Amino acid sequence: MVFKIIFQSTSFAIPFFLTTVSLLIIHKFTTNYINQTWILFFMAFTIEDMATFCKAKSFVYPNSEIYGGFSGFFDLGALGSELNNNIKQAFWKTFVQGREDVVGIDGTIISHPKVWEASGHVGSFSDMLIYCSKHKKGLRADQIVEEVLDVRTDGLKADALLKLITENAEKFKVAGYELDDKISNFNLMFKTFIGPSQSDDSVAYLRPETAQLIFTNFKLIMDTARTRLPFGIAQVGKAFRNEISPRDFLFRCREFEQFEIEFFINPEEKKCALFKSPEKKFVVNILTEDCQKDDKPHYSISLGDMVNKKILGEWHAYWLKQYYQFFLEHGISPENLRLREHCKDELAHYSSACFDIEYKFPFGWKEIHGCANRGQFDLTQHIKHSKQNLEVFDENTQKKVVPRVIEPSQGVGRAMLTFLFEAYDDDKERGNIVLKLHPTLAPYKVGVFPLVNKLTDQARKIFDKLKVDSVCFFDKSGSIGRRYARADEIGIPYCITFDFESIDDKSVTIRDRDTTKQKRVKISRLQKILGDLLSGKTTFDKVK
């Protein structure tokens, strides 16, 4: 209606059109975030917008920007490093410290090259490369096919991709590609040399995943860390992959972090004692292999039914539930989350079944977590290559076994991107962005503001007290409304304002980010109230 009225008058239409176009141009070519709210009124929020937002708010910066950037590498800023640490801590607390059957390790980035020969990475950790004479470089074949033909390519081999490229040659031309008629395999591991000689004998690799050190240390850990089957070993840290075409901001980088668990089980133990009623009744969205073959959408099903239908085993279902639930509990909406079954022809060399947890990003449903049934592959390979006996004694069965493994593998950057997209709310009524991050993940937990500069000392006293328990943010510049908006934009869940009345009534105003509701509370109870709110013991409505 508004648009109709505006466009009935050409005197309005022309300036309106010009303003819109200039805003879009500003948005594309500057990193200035000021007009973002208005620009987003006209266009959907994209991954590029998220990168711009993250840079403007000190979450993530392009690496080596003063030298023109470095594709596939990103640096975390003041808020990004807090958020990243909070995500890792939440994983560690939930899956390591919160459990008696998982222990952590912290291994090296470079290890003996034989590790990677045994694991199969030297031989087959590769992506398909196709040369484009227009771009004058090799590109990732499956990504181009997905982009140009809008199809999923999971599991397609080089022949199938080449066929699609040949059959749709015109479309690729129109999209700006001039592709070769052959595809080669490109190994994704970064090579380096150990010591002063740079020969084949001194080649080593930066780890492409954190998992392998867990396998090589497995027996040592079992012998020394008082663990017994079934149990898991976790590791969080950097992984490096020489991705052919890094893209989509943090989604596909060349250096990133993973949080991986290898969970070791007696190979005879098909039933999972932990897969109880809540696990069985837990409902997930699932895109099965059949859905993908028949081009059908995902559907909802309980994990118990999935196991009964033999879509996956109990241990696998148990671990998928833990991570699916983790994302739900940390604020991800159920409609934006699903499991995707890997089709038989796309399974990695080590895996007999694999399910991804996918998130609905603006650029489509994409993997944020992979959970593979690795069977006995890795330990068997390391036994073969190291000639060591890695069998362990299972106290339950009183027999020696080579355990089988379920591997929940989580990218930290992709988790961060997921939480940021879910949290990002362009609140038109407030006129500012509200980053509705879960309090556990929010970089700052509490903002403390003096109403006017005169009250700075009193407000600071409160800030000094609160910062002992939580990461707090002190802000005294600009109007109180502007300070609330600034706090919203960086996701501070609660803000405290010290005003003139506070001097007499020994109380402050506490404001809830998500509802903007405010309550007056005694300063003496502030620490306890905030502690309860941030830990989820109470909700803002219940605060008295």
CB of 146 to ligand ATP, least distance (A): 11
Q: How far is the CB of 53 from ligand ATP (least distance, A)?
A: 19
In residues, how long is the chain? 544
**Minimum CB distance to ligand ATP smaller for 240 or for 484:** 240
121 binds ligand ATP (CB under 6 A): no
Long-range contacts of 506-511 (CB under 8 A, 24+ apart): 508/462, 510/543, 511/484
Task: Give the residue with the Cβ less far from ligand ATP, 241 or 486.
Answer: 241
State the residue for tokens 């409160």. Answer: 462
Question: How many Cα neighbours within 13 Å face the side chain of 33?
Answer: 16
Where does 141-253 show beta strands of DSSP type E?
179-187, 191-193, 203-206, 231-240
- Least Å distance between CB 101 and ligand ATP? 22
What residues contact residue 444 under an 8 Å CB cut-off, 6+ apart? 79, 82, 471, 472, 473, 487, 490, 491, 492
State the pairing for strand pair 494-498/446-450.
parallel
Cβ–Cβ < 8 Å for 312, 301: no
Edge-to-edge strands of the sheet including 518-522? 472-474, 446-450, 494-498, 507-512, 518-522
Task: Tell the smallest beta-carbon distance from residue 253 to ligand ATP (Å).
Answer: 4
Q: Which residue number is nearest to ligand ATP in terms of Cβ? A: 411
Under rule CB under 6 A, which residues in 318-377 are in contact with ligand ATP?
A: 367-370
Q: How near is the Cβ of 74 to ligand ATP at its closest, in Å? A: 10
409 binds ligand ATP (CB under 6 A): yes
By C-beta, is 368 or 508 nearer to ligand ATP? 368
Residue 197 CB, shortest distance to ligand ATP, in Å, is 31
How far is it, in rounded angstroms, from Cα 477 to Cα 162? 60
- Token pair listed for 261: 């668990």
- Is 80 or 411 the residue whose CB approaches ligand ATP more closely? 411
Q: Under the criterion CB under 6 A, does residue 51 sit at the interface with ligand ATP?
A: no
| Distance in Å, CB of 261 to ligand ATP, minimum | 12
C-alpha closest to that of 460 among 476, 481, 479, 480: 476
Q: What is the DSSP letter of 366?
A: E
d(CA 444, CA 513): 12
Q: Residue 142 or residue 475: which is nearer to ligand ATP going by CB?
A: 142
Please report where in the chains the tokens 């109990």 appear, as a residue: 314
Min CB(165)–ligand ATP separation in Å: 20
Amino acid at 391: E
- Contact segment (CB under 6 A) with ligand ATP among 132-140, 176-184, 403-411, 424-432 equals 403-411
Site for ligand ATP in 137-166 (CB under 6 A): none
The span from the CA of 501 to the CA of 153, in Å, is 64
- Report the nearest approach of ligand ATP to the CB of residue 369 (Å): 5
The only residue of 77, 230, 375, 413 in contact with ligand ATP, by rule CB under 6 A: 413
Query: Total residues at the site for ligand ATP (CB under 6 A)?
Result: 16
User: Where does this chain touch ligand ATP (CB under 6 A) — which range of 80-88, 286-294, 373-381, 410-418?
Assistant: 410-418
Integer Cα distance of 224 and 396 in angstroms: 19
Q: Is 414 in the site for ligand ATP (CB under 6 A)?
A: yes
Footprint on residues 156-215 left by ligand ATP (CB under 6 A): 209
Is 237 a binding residue for ligand ATP by CB under 6 A? The answer is no
Residues of this chain, 241-270, that bind ligand ATP according to CB under 6 A: 241, 243, 252-253, 256, 258
Return the range that interacts with ligand ATP (CB under 6 A); candidates 58-66, 271-279, 305-313, 411-419.
411-419
Per-residue tokens: 379: 């330990």
Residues paired with residue 449 on neighbouring β-strands, in sequence order? 497
Least Å from the CB of residue 203 to ligand ATP: 22
Q: Which is nearer to ligand ATP, 57 or 252 (CB)?
A: 252
Which one, of 342, 359, 490, lies nearest residue 414 by Cα?
A: 359
Query: Within positions 79 to 98, which residues make up the interface with ligand ATP, using CB under 6 A?
Result: none
Nearer to ligand ATP, 187 or 410 (CB): 410
Radius of gyration (C-alpha) of the chain in whole angstroms: 26
Q: Which of 411, 443, 450, 493 binds ligand ATP (CB under 6 A)?
A: 411
* Residue 25 beta carbon to ligand ATP: minimum distance, rounded to whole angstroms: 31
Half-sphere exposure of 205 (CA within 13 A, CB side): 25
Q: Which of 125, 198, 188 is nearest to 349 (CA)?
A: 125
Q: List contacts with ligand ATP (CB under 6 A).
A: 209, 241, 243, 252-253, 256, 258, 367-370, 409-411, 413-414
